[in-house]
Chains A and B, each alone.
Chain A
Amino acid sequence: MPATWLLRFASPERHEKDKAMITKIKTGLLVLALAVGAGASAAGAQPAPRTIHVDIHGFQFVPAHVDAHVADTIEWTNKDFAPHTASDAGGKWTTAPLNNGAIDRVVVKTPGTFAYRCNFHPHMKGTIVVTGNVAQSPKP
């Protein structure tokens, strides 16, 4: 069973520790506790969860915009030499620092539009648009 890792803001002070952690979580799932929506509507038929791949290449998220459904997994792979993150600009969630070739994942659980960036190179920006009903267990 993959490990579940609580979200936290990767401050520069934590970076070295985070780098050491990265190998432990390469295969782990990050559970993304995004802002809780207006409330769950009656559960309808949900499409099967899927994994959406985002490459980090040339200091860009590719694709920079993804459309996801509640319970989908977003998977980032860093193909740059420079380490990157995919992180909420407000510090609510982040992947681990991703070295070259490293992968991290987030399961989206709440509908909405979520802008993110690389904490190390903040000009790198991406957006996740999540549709569907709030997952039954919105917290990690």
Chain B
Amino acid sequence: MTNFKKTLLAAAALLAGSTAAYAQSGLNDLQIAHSAYTADVIDINYAKIALGKTHDPEVKRFAQLMIQDHTAVNEGAGALLKKLGVSAQDNAFSQALNKGAAAENAKLRSLSGRAFDREYARNELAYHKQVNSIVGDTWIPAVQNAEVKEFLAQALVTFRVHEEHAGHMVAALR
């Protein structure tokens, strides 16, 4: 099976909400870098929606932290790619991530008040859990370049902290 076909399969699995086929993603280093960057941008955009809607100071603080930390990670990614003299490659997996995000963005925009806060928190926990699983179980083992691997490992530490933080936020909003 070609890498492209594997990627399409993984993207389809992501849209279906399954993580079972992530290990078959078959992405190369530059495609993984692009997907990681895309995942960061998606979470930054969720946070921007949250800042425009929430009145909860803790939710607001979390959203500000997401913008700050994910922006910093992407700046790190950009610096590394520049140092390596390469560019990230758009791919079907990144596109699938964006499609999933568009649906969630629409859902978030339709909500307000406590319902919004709860959905934002729920999605942050689920999203970080899902992305962390992909980064830790699939991308880090698959990446060939040592510096990209180290970058992803450090990014994963950041995202795991966010996942834990999101878990607390979900609990607090029950």
Interface set of A (CB-CB < 8 Å, partner B): 12, 15, 58-59, 80-83, 99-100, 120-121, 123
Contacts and interface: CB of A to CB of B under 8 A. Distances in A.
Interface stretch (B16-24, B63-71, B96-104, B115-123): B63-71
Contacts of B158: 59, 80-82
Interface size on B, as a range, is: 10 to 19
Given A58-B154, A80-B154, A120 B75 contact: no
Given A12-B61, A120-B65, A120-B68, A81 B75 contact: yes
A100 B74 CA distance: 12
Contacts of A12: 61, 64
A82 B75 contact: no
Main secondary structure of the interface of A (DSSP, over half): loop
Interface of B: 61, 64-65, 68-69, 72-73, 75-76, 154-155, 157-158, 161, 164
B124 to A, nearest CB: 15
A12, A58, A82, most chain B CB atoms within 10 A: A82
Contact of B161 (A83, A99, A121): A121
B61, B154, B155, most chain A CB atoms within 10 A: B154
